[in-house]
Amino acid sequence: MSTNHESSRAAPELEAFRGEVRAWLQDNCPESLRKRWPDPFAEFSVLRTLRKGDSAIWLEAMIEKGWTAPTWPREYGGGGLSRHQNAILKDEMARINAPPPLLGMGLSMIGPTLLDLGTEAQKKAHLPKIITGDTRWCQGYSEPNAGSDLANIQTKAEDRGDHFIINGSKTWTSGGHLATWMFCLVRTGKYEKKQQGISFVLFEMDQPGITLKPIRLISGDSPFCETFFDNVKALKENVIGKVDEGWSVAKRLLQHERSSIGESPGQPSGENSRVPQLVKLAKHYLGEDKGRIANPELRTDIIRHLINTKAFKLTIKRAFDEAKVGASSGDTTSMFKFYGSENVQAKHELMLEVMGSNALAWEGEDFSDTELETLRIWLGAKAATIYGGSSEIQLNIIAKRVLGLPE
């Protein structure tokens, strides 16, 4: 573990790095994009505007720096930053409301899993294209009869020598209509326990035999699909880990997913991110009293939310520090997922309370952009405690594997 002496020695270097980052962002982030960070459910709208206008300029600049994947190794196109440097980059981006140039399951889920468990050939084949946004990924986990009981998957993959032929279906495929690749759990072998005989495979979405059926949500969006496979091909070179032993790979990816949900762009990473926006909205809609939010009850609720969010961020930092010295289990990501999703719902509830009837706007020129999107985001946030493993499942994992409580 780092000593205080080491930390103090590193501090001037980190402050110098902060100055470099601040200057670079000032020169390279287009002014038109400095509004506020995307909501946690903006991934698919970001994908649609990826190569357009100032978003394209911003993306190319960040790709050149390696900062679409700041902590990934430089050899694959990443930035090679330390965790502390990455935290500084996030803070400086939040300071000017610079949006992440790229979002998606490639960066948050399959990429980190490949770094952990992929072969060198798999890393070289997939990581650079994830970093540039040239590939977009979706997840083939849940099935009609395999949601919380994920190991109950029935999608089958038949061995054909150098490849598998896949038949079956998946559901809740986020962004399937935009994805170019899928990472997927398939049944490849016989088993005594359900977790056996499962393989973790990658395959392209643009091939015969894949049918997508959009699922429409209460918010009016259709970010999810049902996905049907009819003799779909997956090369064996794209099996992550060993054939029939994909359950451990699946669990590793879920740890990355839960961590990313807990640390989603909707969660503030610096003092000038989403929480100050909530304070600003409160002062606008509720008025001010000596510089404070006029409504004392909501002022208390907002302060409590700010404190809880800060405590959550410090808990994540502590867990990462403990993980570096082997004192923390990967199952602590369930804490991130549980509290991160509960906290983001709490924030959007507060936004509705602060904005009152203005938050119920759905369409019309008389409303601001914030008013028109607030209710949609609030509705979308209801899914945060379900996808990636429900809050109830996360609490069970925390109880058993983190706290060691008896069943």
CATH of the domain at 165: 2.40.110.10
Query: Which of 306, 312, 329, 318 lies closest to 398 in space, CA to CA?
Result: 329
Judge whether 124 lies within some domain. Answer: no
Contact 24, 65 (CB under 8 A): yes
Identify whether 13 is a catalytic site residue. no
The answer to whether residues 224 and 273 belong to one domain is: no
Looking at the structure of the chain, the number of domains it has is 3
Classify residue 109: in a domain, yes or no: no
- Decide: residue 23, CB within 10 A, 0-12 exposed, 13-18 middle, 19+ buried: exposed
Same domain, 352 and 276: yes
Say whether both 150 and 198 belong to one domain.
yes
Lowest-confidence pick of 85-94, 326-335, 343-352: 326-335
**Is residue 220 domain-shared with residue 155, that is, in the same domain?**
yes
**261 within domain boundaries:** no
Return the amino acid letter for 405: L
Greater model confidence, 210 or 363? 210
Residues 276 and 391 in one domain: yes
Q: What is the pLDDT of residue 379?
A: 85
Question: Residues 229, 294: one domain?
Answer: no
Regarding whether 275 and 221 lie in a shared domain, the answer is no
Assess contact for 153 and 192: CB atoms under 8 A.
no
| CATH number (domain holding residue 367) | 1.20.140.10
In a domain, 186, yes or no: yes
Neighbours of 377 (CB within 10 A): 21
> Are both 77 and 173 inside the same structural domain?
no
Domain assignment present for 289: yes
Task: Answer yes or no: is 310 within a domain.
Answer: yes
In a domain, 110, yes or no: no
Looking at every residue in the chain, the average pLDDT score rounds to 87
* Paired residues of 156 in beta bridges: 167, 187
What tokens does 103 get?
């979002």
Q: How much of the chain exceeds pLDDT 70, in percent?
A: 87
Give the CATH number of the domain where residue 14 resides: 1.10.540.10
Q: Angle 393-397-398 (CA atoms, 0-180°, nearest 5)?
A: 115
* Least-confidence region, from 36-40, 203-207, 221-225, 258-262: 36-40
Q: Determine which of 18-32, 218-232, 237-251, 350-364 has the lowest per-residue pLDDT on average.
A: 218-232
User: CA-CA distance, 227 to 248, in Å (whole number)?
Assistant: 24
Higher-scoring residue by pLDDT: 140, 263: 140
Q: Is the pLDDT of residue 265 over 70?
A: no
Residue 321: what pLDDT? 76
Residues 316 and 349 both lie in one domain: yes
Long-range pairs, 63-66, Cβ under 8 A, ≥24: 63/101, 63/131, 63/132, 63/133, 65/24, 66/131
- Which of 179, 193, 121 has its CA nearest to residue 151? 193
Which entry of 143, 245, 257, 371 is annotated as an active-site residue? 257
For 58, 151, 218, the CA distances from 225, given in Å and listed in that order, are 30, 20, 15
Is the domain of 148 the same as that of 20?
no
Q: Express each pLDDT in 80-107 by its tens digit.
A: 999 889 989 999 998 898 989 998 999 9
Please check whether residues 183 and 241 belong to one and the same domain.
yes
Query: Residue with structure tokens 């977009």?
Result: 136
**Where would I find the beta strands (DSSP E) of 216-277?**
224-235, 239-240
Q: Is residue 290 part of a domain?
A: yes
Backbone phi and psi for residue 395, each to the nearest 5 degrees, phi listed first: -65, -40
Residue 168 has pLDDT above 50, yes or no: yes
Q: What global pTM score does this model have?
A: 0.79
Structural domain boundaries enclosing 198: 136-246
Same domain, 237 and 312: no
Q: Beta-strand (E) ranges in 62-112?
A: none
Longest CA–CA span in the chain (Å) reads 74
- β-pair type (288-289, 210-215): unpaired
